[in-house]
Structure 1
């Protein structure tokens, strides 16, 4: 009786330790997603490069996952997990390190701090502003984003043993009637982690990047400005500390726990044969009995249901990962929301909707006792319905911001085809303005100008955030009603119509995410039920390897590259080189809808496969 209670206490300790580790890794992973735009602006890198950084986590994971899966179970599993948590923590701290060696964040602005002067300077210079490059500091020979890339790879390496070794450890030594409950608790914690990760991202995005080092009165931009960079590094320090603490309990756990009597005869049964599957785990290929690897793999890939399902999930994961990675950026730049608000909405609305959808899908499958064919039809139906709902995004878009010389002419007429020369007009011809400068001001006519100089402003009053530019000739050109020819700092706010559309976009986004995720659990059960029991470990390993290699790594990269092609104007660094400023991201919506359409088609083919004879040959249009 004593051993029984001790076993329960030990299993509970393992459960709490593993849940904390799951929370820590999910927190740091989602926080990385929330800092996408902050890293772009801080390091002046385009979206495709951010995609490479984001996908580097999967690269690190794949580097060691086969080794850990095969040899990890033969070693001291808790200590291997502890080492993994330490590596995750070190990688997270490494990501934050550039902040402390790169120097202060410099905003390229024509605003000059002045306290006593009412006439600060003329925004219309007598000589070219490009001459200011002579005083540029030399940039480091090593780009700072390299440290972020290496840190994320290290995070991926450290995360590898947590899931397979942790789940198998708790399964081996928990009482059989509690094991499924424990695994469910761990998976639930892994869903809660991203919520806190995005909330942390929202909090840090409100804080200026160099808080504590600069006088905030001299900062002339707000969190809504395209040049604003939040305290991205602070969240990584917090996430790194939490991950470091999660390693502590595993150092004190024994290599093995007292085994409940009912588990002794089942110790050699693979976890996947007892509880179905757990996302992300890869078992040793040698566990497929009585078969060599190559013939077994050939038999597995010869299963048309498995092959189609693998194609379905690869496409679906491409869409999901692309959406999760860049949706906050889309909300920021298309709907004019701050990074803080975008992260808050992702953490409090979208992520819970997906989690609830996956849970509800499992409940529906259990309640109606869906078989293989029923699961295929249900997954197809939810995917198709999600696709039709996604079509509504076409009518929920906003027009581009009115920016003189980029989206509208200086007279206010739309339909402008942007070229470098279109930034200049008769109203600012007397000024030697730089076309590379991005220091937006909002005219009284509701049009944004790239800089006070390009707005034709002749002088300014006030200082800092209270600066007002007067006698702006370009404002007069498009001013259809009598009014002051002044301009204020920052871009003009979005139209009221865009603000009214945004809540509908959020509601539709939540609804479509919920409906599509409804089919996640039934769809995954197809993988478990459509293959022979002895092939499950190999099937799960191939599934995880394929989705990470063909979705986790490339999706952020090509989604980022597509987003880069939608930029109407790129900003430039003061010392030369292209920056990361862009306006329109509407093309991302079309890409996301196309992905969901392909998933719906493949789910249809999958459901059709169960309605025909096995000897039929189908030509599936994988395009």
Structure 2
């Protein structure tokens, strides 16, 4: 009886090692995707906090991929020889340090000061239209004040922190998946990988909810009286508590790392844990064989690296697939990273609302698309040629649906002197300085300060002074301005702080856009698994690992890093009014030409996606005459061999597929 109890205890203890690793790595996937989705959602807040252009924000975002590339080769080739759980634990700690470093500027800088003409001193009327008024926020000529205002390189902390976060994330996915694959039963491996993928889906959901919450909290909450603020979360000067979420992400990453330091380098092989003394010998022999196998594979990869690379570069389907992936990732990376900004500028939503809507409308369809696509591939035993056609036609349907978004538009915000005249007539943009008019010519107003008010005539003005307002009642955001000479109405000419809303019609357009985005996300994610099966089966089995790595490397170098930078620069070109610092330098953009913004945000990805169908059609043409090396022939002998080796390679393909989906598609679509 006692002997039986010892065997049961031994079984539980050994089983718990692998199961504990599974739980820990799932939590690690949650934490890493939590940090990534949160950071991507806070780009607008970071842009406003540091008063930097969108192109620079794109470079900060791309620094994560740069950090990831620093260690990807080292981890891929040498990670299996080291203590993988400890490597993963160290990676989680490094991610936590990166998140903490990103939040550090908030504690090193002074309080955030948004440009405003409204004085908190109720006895002061300098922000109103007075003939003897003086301009506020005039450029200073004192160099010492200039250096203090620019806060020159504080954003570098965010860039370096994001790069460190990328370095820390590198070992988690490849080492975690390979650890499960090496020590789990072959029939259990896909199930375990499914648990891990679930964590990669839950993480972005929590990340978007956290970013929505933090974006609605003022950046200096606790140190300023928010009742005195003259801006709301919908204002383009508003900065949410971006640093708070990063501290939470840092804590979650560090806590996630703790279990890995207590897990063994080589746990008992699953299915061999219930035996006693002889089991230990068998286990040691199995582990030794496993280590020898890994060593031989590493030696073979190192030895065959050049021939494999030559073979891959001479594989037309593989090279064309990489070209398709790079072009499409340029389109999707650009769209996803700047989608919150697009919803803000086009539909007048706050960052908090935009991020929340993106999570609600886009995340569930992506998850369902992956599941349905995988079930279809499994049930109907799709071949590589069939998978290529399925992926092509689904992508084409999604591309055609995409063009409907060009009709779901809102007009530019009506701002007197910028997008419309003071009489309310639409005017040609970029015509020069038309800020002043007869109604405010004698008010001595600042012409560069962005402190908008909404007139009772439905027209916005850059400031209360430029609206010609002479008196006010109330404080903070509830302030109401009266006797505004530029507001032409039959009744009392009054105004309130903030831009005028875009109206009910624009809200309906937003709903249509989000529904289309939901359908598009589902269709494209449905095509993801068939598309990646083409990648896995168009190369020889021994070249799969290198092929997948080269594919991931290409999409990072030629899409993940440059796309946010050049896309951000194009968005900057549509800016109508830049923030003005006390030094006189330009800061973040306050209002964009939403029409040109829309042409760039929707048009450039449409052009990129359209061009990607050229190499995709070439793949279909080649597949008609070319037999892929990764798929068995239709002959009887090859068919039997395919059946025998199919089961052995099934888990390996599931492993590679999950790697790509987690590393590329989830990050792009979410």
TM-score normalised per structure 2:
0.85
1:217/1:464 contact within 8 Å kept: yes
Measured in 2, the distance between the counterparts of 1:74 and 1:375 equals 36
1:582 pairs with one of 591, 596, 602: 591
In structure 2, the residue matched to 1:497 is: 505
Change (3 A) 1:576 1:286: farther
Deviates more, 1:316-325 or 1:205-214: 316-325
* Cα distance, 1:371 vs structure 2: 0.7
2:428 pairs with one of 413, 416, 422: 416
Cα deviation digits, residues 405-456 of structure 1 (max 9, x gap): 1111111111422344211212211122222100000011111111112212
Measured in 1, the distance between the counterparts of 2:292 and 2:205 equals 35
* Cα distance, 1:130 vs structure 2: 4.9
* Cα distance, 1:287 vs structure 2: 4.0
2:531 pairs with one of 523, 531, 554: 523
In structure 2, the residue matched to 1:275 is: none
Measured in 2, the distance between the counterparts of 1:591 and 1:168 equals 38
Measured in 2, the distance between the counterparts of 1:377 and 1:121 equals 64
Question: How do 1:16-415 and structure 2 match up within 5 A?
Answer: 16-114=23-121, 122-124=128-130, 126-131=133-138, 133=140, 136=145, 138-139=148-149, 142-260=152-270, 264=286, 267=290, 287-288=300-301, 292-415=304-427
Deviates more, 1:169-178 or 1:85-94: 169-178
Cα deviation digits, residues 290-346 of structure 1 (max 9, x gap): x64223211111111101111111122222221221111111111101111111112
Question: How do 1:464-613 and structure 2 match up within 5 A?
Answer: 464-476=476-488, 479=489, 482-580=490-588, 581-583=590-592, 584=594, 585-586=597-598, 587-612=600-625
1:383/1:596 contact within 8 Å kept: no
Greater C-alpha radius of gyration:
2
Change (3 A) 1:505 1:553: same
Question: How do 1:454-473 and structure 2 match up within 5 A?
Answer: 454-473=466-485
What SS class does the counterpart of residue 412 from structure 1 fall into? coil
Is there any run of 5+ residues in structure 2 with no aligned partner, and where?
Answer: 1-6, 273-282, 629-670
Measured in 1, the distance between the counterparts of 2:150 and 2:568 equals 25
* Cα distance, 1:359 vs structure 2: 2.1
Deviates more, 1:259-268 or 1:354-363: 259-268
Measured in 2, the distance between the counterparts of 1:90 and 1:295 equals 40
Cα deviation digits, residues 235-262 of structure 1 (max 9, x gap): 0011110000011000101111012468
Change (3 A) 1:152 1:543: same
1:321/1:556 contact within 8 Å kept: yes
Measured in 2, the distance between the counterparts of 1:562 and 1:193 equals 31
What SS class does the counterpart of residue 624 from structure 2 fall into? coil
Measured in 2, the distance between the counterparts of 1:237 and 1:64 equals 25
Measured in 2, the distance between the counterparts of 1:73 and 1:329 equals 42
Deviates more, 1:199-208 or 1:492-501: 492-501
1:323/1:592 contact within 8 Å kept: yes
What SS class does the counterpart of residue 377 from structure 1 fall into? helix
Change (3 A) 1:286 1:328: farther
Cα deviation digits, residues 30-81 of structure 1 (max 9, x gap): 0001101100100001111111110101100101111122222111111111
Measured in 1, the distance between the counterparts of 2:438 and 2:232 equals 31
Cα deviation digits, residues 459-491 of structure 1 (max 9, x gap): 333322222222222212xx4xx1221111000
Measured in 1, the distance between the counterparts of 2:533 and 2:464 equals 60
What SS class does the counterpart of residue 475 from structure 1 fall into? coil
Change (3 A) 1:244 1:455: same
RMSD: 2.4
What SS class does the counterpart of residue 366 from structure 1 fall into? helix
Deviates more, 1:606-615 or 1:493-502: 606-615
Change (3 A) 1:121 1:594: closer
* Cα distance, 1:175 vs structure 2: 2.1
* Cα distance, 1:118 vs structure 2: 10
* Cα distance, 1:88 vs structure 2: 0.4
* Cα distance, 1:604 vs structure 2: 2.8
In structure 2, the residue matched to 1:280 is: none
Measured in 2, the distance between the counterparts of 1:374 and 1:5 equals 45
Measured in 2, the distance between the counterparts of 1:162 and 1:39 equals 27
* Cα distance, 1:603 vs structure 2: 2.7
